[in-house]
A and B are shown apart, each in its own frame.
Chain A
Amino acid sequence: MTEHVTKQRKVKRFFGELRAAWAIAEKRWRIELRYPLSLLYFSVAPILWILPQLIYGSALIGGRFSEQLQSLTGTNDVWVYTSLGLVFNMFVGITLWSTAYGIRREEWTGTFEIMYITPISRITMIFGNALKSIMHNGIGLLMQMGIIIFWYWGLFKFTDLLIALLFLLVSLLLIQGLAMVLSGFVLWQKQGYRAVMFLENMLAIITPVTYPIVTMPNYLQYLSYGNPLTYGIEGFRNAIMFGTDKMTYIYLGVLVGLSIIIIIVGIKSFAAMEKVLRSKGTIGQY
């Protein structure tokens, strides 16, 4: 009987946390909608952001197709190969930024303390921010994917596209873990944007976004194989461009495993950082 009641409470609590996460996302949407120009720009901007690397690629090869790329990856379509990598990388990158900075944003608007004494989990606070970011960035993602599908129309299967989106979904869980580590860091350092930016750029270099792993020097290749985003991006792109096979599911398995590990590390590190800062009494410091 007691066990049943405890279980019921846990379920109730879980749904309560979900409602709280939604409330946080809704609050951020309300603020965002007060700046329609900003909303419009950041929805369209992902198209602008992929252009430099696409134009650069075209300037090098004089069009869309590269034999060199074909010999390295199995596809000669530079536009689709590059765009898929960039779309994936931008989506997870922006989500990482906005989630990691969610707490800092509350500090800027003077609502951090009020949020902090609300009886909800800290993870819910971070997840609520992530939820809004995912929804917002989803607009840009839809537009980007629309263009890529137009370019690649008839050359991929719909089921493979769904598998590719599964890779994106699991990568978002991975990003939650990373964002929790960084949220702890931002909570400690306050203006920790340098660390977030540095980490994001380091990840961008060792992730095969617009080039295959073999292009990197050997020492970077080792780092790349240890980078969970490599499996996310390769799985996502390969599923659309070459279809799914045994390797795709191995990549998915590795990505899920690494995501679970990073989420646990994220939760633990955030809790540890919070404990330290609470004992120091510096949480509320600006």
Chain B
Amino acid sequence: MKMLIAIIKPFKLEEVREALTGLGIQGLTVSEVKGFGRQKGQTEIYRGAEYAVNFLPKVKIEAVLDDALVGRAVEAVQKAASTGKIGDGKIFITDISHAVRIRTGETGTEAL
């Protein structure tokens, strides 16, 4: 099993969700995060005092998948989340060694 972690622009969340569920992925976790990459932040000004805001709001999606789906999932997310401009985000893949469905006790890919 693999975990797909995608950091995307917040307004792309719906598109990416649809792309993943379209592949048959049945669950995912979403969190609101802050971060920066090559996209620089904005400058805020309060009564003449300028503050550079370095962190931008992003959305992080985590989905645990069967190894067989990973390639198509990455492609689907990249296509759905892309705007072509700096700040589109990144996708990471990590290994998952174990999974359990709490209600039934199923393990492994049965739990996904």
Q: Do A and B bind each other?
A: no
